[in-house]
Amino acid sequence: MLSIYWHFKHIPFSLFVIPPHSHTHSELMLRQFWVVPVVALVAALLCEAGCEYEGIFNFGDSNSDTGGFWSVFPEAPPPNGMTYFKHPVGRASDGRLIIDFVAERIGIPYVSPYLKSIGSDYRHGANFATLASTVRLPQTSLFVSGLSPFALPIQVNQLKHFKAQVENLYSEGSTNLPPPDIFGKSLYTFYIGQNDFTSDLAKNGITEVKKTLPQVISGITDAIKDLHALGGRAFFVLNLAPIGCYPSFLVELPHGDKDIDEYGCLISYNNAVVEYNDMLHDALNQTGHQLSDAKVIYVDSHKALLELFQHPTSHGLKYGTVACCGNGGGRYNFNPQVFCGNAKFIDGQNLTALACDDPENYVSWDGVHTTEAANKIIVDAIFSGDFTDPPFEIQCS
């Protein structure tokens, strides 16, 4: 996720992933040929089956941005998008994101970015997430703070404008807009807060960052209440990831040897994340009681991702705290001066951050974001175990 400044300085990112356990060239070519049409067919069949949710409206940062940021700024370079989509498509991964797999579960097409003016299809919702977004409004320009101007309050305002336009234009025969009643039949997903937590973490330390977290949580619950007033009735809120296991933060955050646990993760930073997630959980429970006609779902994606970092081989992966796409090799394969897909001349050397040949074996794509393989495992866990409160499942007739 990191800030926009960080991306401008080191270079952008994007998407894509190879299905787990594909090894030979012929297998990969066969999967490449079939996987997209098969997914589209499954989605169409699920839509015909009548799932209870007809769309997704997503709010977030680069963990769920499906191209919003790169609709405004230059596209991320290869090798982003090297596996599933086969080219960069504005996602911060080598393939599909969690939001993409949720869309597949519901049986709808992947959600188009609200900021993408050409080629978007909004018949099943819209994605307001942008890379480097925060819950709280940035206090300075993105070129100073490095944070996206599209903070959560702005994203909610965009949804309000979108809803007004749908109500005005749908009756006129617009072909890429949803029916006006979709707002009460959609899943409102949130994956945001990581940039609020990490953007000043190295400079200010854990204690100072903790002071801001109640504001972050109230920003999320306020957004839910605003969207409820607009007709939303199902809210799916992912908690904060174990950032102490991310290669980028292992390299860049100050710490001592005693702050590393047996799995190679930062103890103090992960403990702070757990405190935040507990506060978020409590606040969402309270909000759910206040909005008695709505589902307010706390999603413990942290639990699923932490398990992957700690025990990757138990889930068909090989590498936890090392980036697939990076520079420098070693324990983390992460160089903050040369980000995934970038090349720079530093100290008399040409350095390039290249991708591994097997992203399906990694948890971390670029040191900051997860691979498609990890994202799929996380979504499978969310919908198959005790990872949501209250319990949540998607019903299809």
* pLDDT confidence of residue 175: 83
**pLDDT for 189 beyond 70:** yes
The answer, yes or no, to whether the previous bond of 153 is cis (omega within 30 of 0) is no
Length of the chain: 397
pLDDT, average across residues 340-357: 95
Is residue 62 flagged as an active site residue? yes
Total number of domains constituting the chain: 1
Q: Please indicate, yes or no, if residue 340 is contained in any of the structural domains.
A: no
* pLDDT confidence of residue 50: 58
Q: Please indicate, yes or no, if residue 261 is contained in any of the structural domains.
A: yes
In contact, 343 and 352? CB cutoff 8 Å: yes
Percent of the chain scoring above 90 in pLDDT: 81
* pLDDT confidence of residue 397: 66
Is residue 120 flagged as an active site residue? no
pLDDT band at 12 (very low <50, low <70, confident <90, very high): very low
**Measured between alpha carbons, how far is residue 31 from residues 28, 317, 382 in Å?**
5, 19, 25
* pLDDT confidence of residue 34: 40
pLDDT, average across residues 43-51: 52
Strand, coil or helix: 299? strand
In contact, 148 and 61? CB cutoff 8 Å: yes
* pLDDT confidence of residue 46: 46
**pLDDT for 289 beyond 70:** yes
pLDDT, average across residues 388-393: 95
Options 14, 22, 62, 93, the catalytic residue = 62
* pLDDT confidence of residue 75: 72
Angle of the 372-382 helix axis to the 301-310 helix axis, nearest 10:
130
Q: What is the dihedral of CA 285, 192, 264, 339, to 10 degrees?
A: 180
Q: Please indicate, yes or no, if residue 355 is contained in any of the structural domains.
A: no
pTM of the model: 0.88
Q: Which of 137-146, 158-167, 223-232 has the lowest mean pLDDT?
A: 137-146
**pLDDT for 49 beyond 80:** no
- Which residue do the tokens 């980000």 mark? 339
Domain that holds residue 266: 51-304+372-389
**pLDDT for 122 beyond 60:** yes
Neighbours of 98 (CB within 10 A): 27
Q: Please indicate, yes or no, if residue 77 is contained in any of the structural domains.
A: yes
- Alpha-carbon distance of 354 to 80, in angstroms, equals 10
- Which residue do the tokens 């005005």 mark? 168
**pLDDT for 342 beyond 50:** yes
**pLDDT for 288 beyond 60:** yes
pLDDT (tens digit per residue) in 243-252 = 999 999 999 9
**pLDDT for 263 beyond 80:** yes
pLDDT, average across residues 339-358: 95
The answer, yes or no, to whether the previous bond of 37 is cis (omega within 30 of 0) is no
* pLDDT confidence of residue 214: 98
**pLDDT for 220 beyond 70:** yes
**pLDDT for 33 beyond 60:** no
pLDDT band at 43 (very low <50, low <70, confident <90, very high): very low
* pLDDT confidence of residue 73: 85
Q: Please indicate, yes or no, if residue 310 is contained in any of the structural domains.
A: no
Q: Which of 5-9, 130-134, 218-222, 368-372 has the lowest mean pLDDT?
A: 5-9
- Alpha-carbon distance of 160 to 33, in angstroms, equals 39
Options 61, 94, 100, 366, the catalytic residue = 366
Residue 279: give its domain's CATH number. 3.40.50
In contact, 77 and 111? CB cutoff 8 Å: no
pLDDT band at 395 (very low <50, low <70, confident <90, very high): confident
Q: Please indicate, yes or no, if residue 320 is contained in any of the structural domains.
A: no
Q: Please indicate, yes or no, if residue 363 is contained in any of the structural domains.
A: no
pLDDT (tens digit per residue) in 152-177 = 999 999 999 999 999 999 988 888 99
* pLDDT confidence of residue 40: 44
In 3-state terms, the chain is what percent helix, strand and coil (to 5)? 45, 15, 45
Is residue 369 flagged as an active site residue? yes
Q: Please indicate, yes or no, if residue 219 is contained in any of the structural domains.
A: yes
**pLDDT for 6 beyond 90:** no
